Structures are given as C-alpha cells and as structure tokens.
A and B are shown apart, each in its own frame.
Chain A
C-alpha cells in the first residue's frame, strides 16, 4: 500500500507542477509554435520591451508594496488585540473577508466606491486598488501572526512590565521581536496576494491603474502567446521564491 501511495503522490505532484514547468520550457523556445526549435531568450527580450507590461508591472509593484506595508501593520496590531482578548466582531469581520467569494468582494467594493464618489471628489485609481488589497490581505496577516502568538508566553510581557516597562514598551521590545519571523512571513504573503489578484483589482482599478494581472488576463483572453509564457515563468519563479521564504519563516 505504501508504494502504491508513493506512486500516486508522484502523479498528483506532476499534475500540480508539470503545467508550469512545461510553460517554463516553452518560454525559452525559439519558435512561437508548440514545437521545439532550440533555445532562445527572445521572448524574455520581447517582454522587457513591452511598455504595457512594464508599466503595469510598475503599478502592481507599487500597489503590492503599499498594501503589504499597510496590511502587515494593521493586521499585526489586530492579531495582538485578538490574542489579548477575543472579539467576535473583529474576528467575524476578518472571517467574512476571508470567505466571501472574490467576485462578491469586488462588486461590493465597486458599489462602495461609486457610492462614496457622490460625496467626495475621487475616482477609481491606485488608491482604491490599495484600499481593496489591504482589506482582503489583513485576514491572512492576522492568521499568520496569531498562529505565532499562540506559542508566546504572556508571562514574558508581564515580567517586562514588572521590571518597569510600560505596556507599549513591553509590546515593542518583547512581543514584537518574538513575532518578527511571523510578521515577515505575513508581509510576504500580503505582497504575494496583492500582486496576484485579478478579480477584485479589475473591478476597482481606474484607467491609469492597470495592474500586471489585468494585462496578463487581457493577453490570455486573446490566446496563448510566447511572450506571456515568459512573463508567467518570471512571475512564478519570483513569487515561488517569496512563498518558500515565507513558509520557512513561518516555521521558524
């Protein structure tokens, strides 16, 4: 039974990983067709020459960094608050943000922004995308940070306070350093889900805030293209590295 299970596992892992590996192989294929014609970095060169791609990648990066910073800060504080004392309202809100189908989150935020624009002079743009990303990233940050807090001994904080540290100083100099790996892991996850999101982003983005997934989506809908193979491979390699790093930190 054990051997059968191992063979089975290999098959499933192949199913999970082969499609991307094949894409990577064909991203360095000289031909634009599905036949191997020799190694070439042509499509990578074309990728770096594509202004739409570069511009949207810049937007995505800016949005992801902003969203990562904000959601990590807000989420870490919220996790600490929830660890101190459970709050059904806050946990419920976070839970809701986690379970609501993306398309529903997207149209809800679109409705919110359209409604708010009647009263404030704003338009859809980078800021609305960042707000949306922070909103759906926080729950992930809370999950990761809270998991680490569960292994934290509150007596350490109390000891610091007994020794004269203020509540805030005890948090900053005892708890926060202990949480550092989880916070770093959470930040990387927040970055990843922000830079990956298409569904919500496409609904709340303005004309000047096209993100990389939006450009990729438009390309994919037009059909398969070798440049897109190169773009995909680049993103998967970069994000994969980030995720593995984050996983390692989470287990630290």
Chain B
C-alpha cells in the first residue's frame, strides 16, 4: 500500500528539496559570509550583514515597505469586506461574481500594472481627461510616487482579501443572523455585532495574505514607484544584480522569508488550510 504512495511523492519531494530547501540553505550560509572581491562570497563568517539591517541607510526602506504593506492590507480589507458580503448574499449569481474577482488575479499582474501606468502618467488618460475638461492646467503627478505603489498593491492583492472573507461568510450559520434580527437588532447592528466578529478569522487570514506579498513586492514599486520608491523587494533584487552584494541581499531575503513563513503559519494554524 505504501509503496505506490512513496513512489508518487518522490519526484515532488526531490524537487522541493533541490529547489526550496537547498537554495534556502545556500542563502542562509551566504547571509553570514563576507562579500567577495568580484561579487560572490568569501570567508570569514560574519553577522555584519544582519547588523547592517538596522543601519539608518536602509531604515527608510524598511519603514516605507512596512507602512505601504500595512496601508495596502487595511485598504484591501476595508474594500474587500463589503464585496465579500455582496458575493455571499448574491444567491445563484455567486459563481459569476466570484469569477469576476478571481479573473484579474490570474491575468498577468505585470500587464495590470502597465494598465495603471497608461492611466496615471502625465499624458495618461486621467490627466488628459481632466485637462480637456479644464479641471486642471498642469498634469497631476499621479505616477512614480508612494500613492501609485499603494494603488498598485491594492489593485493587485484585493482578491486575496475578498476570497478568505467570502469563504467564512459562505459557511456562516445564517440562523445566528436571523436570531439577532428576531431579538430586535437592526441590520447594521447584526453586521457589526454578529457578522463581523464571526468573520474575524477570515479577516485575519485576509490581512496576512495581503500583507506578505505586499511586503515582498518588487515589480509594483519598480513600475509604479519609479526610482524614488525603493522597497525591500527592490533592495534584494539590487543586491543580487547591480550592487553585487550577495551576503547582504541574502540576509534581507532570510528576514523576509522568516516574516512570511511565521505570518503564514498563523493562518495555517487557524485552519485556513491551503494544502
């Protein structure tokens, strides 16, 4: 009985070992080595890469990344909760409305960011329309700033917030809501005092599912933020490419990975199993 199972699990296990575990180990080792003279890494061992993380030089990048990720998370939940509520209450049309949320999630993030560049740039649609309506004279600087990055994050990760909240709402015992209404609670009170507390696990999952990818984002800040909005993801990419400081890039990666795993683990513990 177990033989087939073992044979079937082997290719995936081998691949995970080679492409997940071993690279993580290599990055871990690199993060405590010195930068080599020609890129690469060199002995002796050091913890300096980690102590550099609190260097004020990089502090701004971390603070900006955390702030943007937190803001994106808050916005996604605020915007996503009512939508999840709408879908959960839409009866037979549920699947259609759900597909409309999932569809953009699977269609090229890169292209969706490009669509926003098209809308936001100085000669983009929004500025052109506003100018021709005479609302503004000079184009508004909509692109290449923190606001544009935040918009990109919310746009990209909103489905992550809607889906787990919807999953909880869908399983919610409707009789609890009816009971509250029967006992005289007004719709708004049912929402804030019954539905919302019951949704807490879904909201928690949504928060983490949005926060983690937002914190590690790379292309959103690169395309919509321009060179002014460097985030952790860009820092990592930069260390491994142009700056050629692999040990420091590795240390940042390790921290990012640990944060992601710890946060995701709390979702998993609460039973929001993906696997």
Which A residues are within 8 Å of any B CB, using their own CB?
1-2, 5-6, 8-9, 12-13, 15-17, 19-20, 22-23, 26, 33-35, 73-75, 77-78, 80-82, 84-85, 87, 89-91, 93-104, 106-112, 115, 131-132, 134-135, 138-139, 142-143, 146, 167-168, 171, 189, 192-193, 196, 198-199, 203, 213, 216-217, 220-221, 223-224, 228-229, 232, 235-236, 239-240, 243-244, 247, 251
Contact = CB atoms under 8 A, between A and B. Distances in A.
A19 B115 contact: yes
Given A19-B119, A81-B8, A103 B19 contact: no
5 A-B pairs closest in CB distance:
A101-B216, A93-B16, A78-B12, A108-B23, A81-B9
A110 B240 contact: yes
Given A108-B23, A109-B19, A16 B158 contact: yes
Contacts of A199: 218-219
Interface string B20-35: 1111101100100000
B108 A107 contact: no
A81 B275 CA distance: 13
B216 A103 contact: yes
Interface residues of B, number: 88
Given A93-B17, A97-B16, A110-B240, A16 B110 contact: no
B268 A95 contact: yes
A207 B272 CA distance: 41
Contacts of A196: 107-110
Interface stretch (B43-51, B55-63, B164-172, B255-263): B255-263
A122 B102 CA distance: 39
A94 B18 CA distance: 12
A246 to B, nearest CB: 8
B162 to A, nearest CB: 9
Contacts of B3: 167
Nearest to B116: A19
B8 A236 contact: no
Contacts of B163: none
B233 A111 contact: no
Given A167-B1, A221-B223, A107 B237 contact: yes
Given A19-B116, A78-B8, A9 B110 contact: no
B253 interface: yes
B111 A232 contact: yes
Given A95-B264, A107-B253, A224-B121, 5 more contacts: A26-B125, A90-B12, A99-B261, A101-B215, A235-B111
A110 B249 CA distance: 12
A99 B265 CA distance: 10
Contacts of A26: 118, 125
A132 B26 contact: no
B77 interface: no
Given A16-B155, A112-B19, A107 B249 contact: yes
A104 B99 CA distance: 30
Interface string B48-87: 0000000000000000000000000000000100110111
A220 B188 CA distance: 45
A243 B106 contact: yes
A239 B110 CA distance: 13
Given A93-B17, A104-B216, A247-B99, A111 B12 contact: no
Contact of B95 (A1, A168, A189, A251): A251
A203 B212 contact: no
B204 interface: no
A60 B117 CA distance: 24
B12 A74 contact: yes
A101 B8 contact: no
B107 A243 contact: yes
Contact of B15 (A74, A102, A221): A74
A16 B104 contact: yes
A224 B257 contact: no
Contact of B118 (A143, A229, A251): A229
A85 B108 CA distance: 35
A9 B246 CA distance: 46
Interface string B91-132: 000010101111110111111111111110101110010000
B250 interface: yes
B37 interface: no
B9 A203 contact: no
A109 B111 CA distance: 25
B13 interface: yes
